[in-house]
Amino acid sequence: MDKTKQFLAAGILFAGFWMTYHTTAESRAEDVKPIPTETVKNSVRQAMQRKLVLSKEILNGLVLQDYDSIEKAAAEMKKVSLQSPKQIEGDETENELYQHFRLEFLRINSLMEKMAQEKNLEGAAYAYQNLNANCLACHSYLHGKDE
Q: Could you tell me which of 87, 54, 93, 90 has the C-alpha nearest to residue 71?
A: 54
Between 2 and 92, name the residue whose CB sits nearer to ligand HEC.
92
Contact yes or no for 115/129 (Cβ under 8 A): no
Burial 73-100 (b: 16+ CB within 10 A, else e): bbbbbbebbeebbeebebeeeebebbee
The residue from 62, 108, 116, 138 that contacts ligand HEC (CB under 6 A) is: 138
List C-alpha distances in Å: 4 to 7, 11, 13, 51, 110. 5, 10, 14, 63, 57
Least separation in angstroms between CB 109 and ligand HEC: 9
User: 60: which residues sit within 8 A by CB, 6+ positions away?
Assistant: 66, 69
Q: Is 111 in the site for ligand HEC (CB under 6 A)?
A: no
The residue from 70, 74, 108, 131 that contacts ligand HEC (CB under 6 A) is: 131
- Rounded CA separation 90/108 (Å): 25
Stretch in the footprint of ligand HEC (CB under 6 A) among 17-25, 60-68, 96-104, 115-123: 96-104
Q: Is 109 in the site for ligand HEC (CB under 6 A)?
A: no
Between 22 and 100, name the residue whose CB sits nearer to ligand HEC.
100
Between 27 and 42, name the residue whose CB sits nearer to ligand HEC.
42
Q: Which residues of the chain form contacts with ligand HEC (CB under 6 A)?
A: 35, 40, 44-45, 48-49, 51-52, 55, 98, 101-102, 105, 131, 134-135, 138-139, 142
